[in-house]
């Protein structure tokens, strides 16, 4: 179960949050060659004083922490990161220097729900 956590200083509307959640779930499935049913997304808003990025320019910040199953090639992770950053930039008017993605890879068995435990990534859509 990938866990995609956005932390942002943008003032996100409820409609924007729902749209980003849906779109980033689809992007993850497309770029990471999997299905959408197990993708979890969190969007947290913070006051400007709560987030910092040394290279930031004027404007909101947005960081994506992506806890994912290990095994996907760099190219897949990079494609997803770029697509997710583009989505955040377009939705919340976030300048590119103010975007950051961090991947943490886990063994499949470290990612679980009540009804399933992840396995090794095989690239076959699961």
Using the predicted structure, report yes or no on whether residue 111 has a pLDDT greater than 60.
yes
pLDDT mean over 22-39: 95
Q: What is the pLDDT of residues 64-101, one digit of tens each?
A: 999 999 999 999 999 999 999 999 999 999 999 999 99
Cβ density class 40-64: b for 16+ within 10 Å, e for less: ebebeeeeeeebeeeebeebbbbbb
Domains of the chain: 10-48+60-110 (3.30.429.10)
Q: Share the mean pLDDT of the chain.
A: 92
Reported as a single tens digit per residue, the pLDDT across 47-70 is 999 999 999 999 999 999 999 999
Q: What is the pLDDT of residue 113?
A: 72
Residue-level pLDDT at 126: 45
Question: Is pLDDT at 19 greater than 80 in this prediction?
Answer: yes
Structure tokens at 35: 């299905």
Residue count (the chain): 126
23 with 86: CB under 8 angstroms? no
Task: Give the separation between CA 58 and CA 78, rounded to whole angstroms.
Answer: 25
């Amino acid at each position: 179960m990938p866990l995609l956590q956005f932390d942002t200083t943008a003032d996100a509307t409820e409609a924007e949050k729902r749209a980003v959640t849906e779109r980033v779930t689809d992007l993850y499935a497309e770029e990471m060659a999997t299905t959408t049913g197990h993708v979890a997304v969190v969007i947290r808003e913070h006051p400007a004083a709560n987030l910092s990025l040394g290279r930031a320019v004027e404007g909101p910040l947005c960081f994506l922490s992506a806890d994912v199953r290990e095994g996907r090639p760099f190219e897949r992770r990079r494609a997803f990161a770029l697509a997710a950053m583009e989505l955040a930039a377009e939705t919340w008017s976030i300048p590119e220097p103010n975007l950051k993605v961090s991947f943490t890879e886990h063994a499949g068995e470290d990612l679980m729900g009540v009804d399933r435990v992840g396995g090794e990534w095989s690239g076959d859509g699961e």
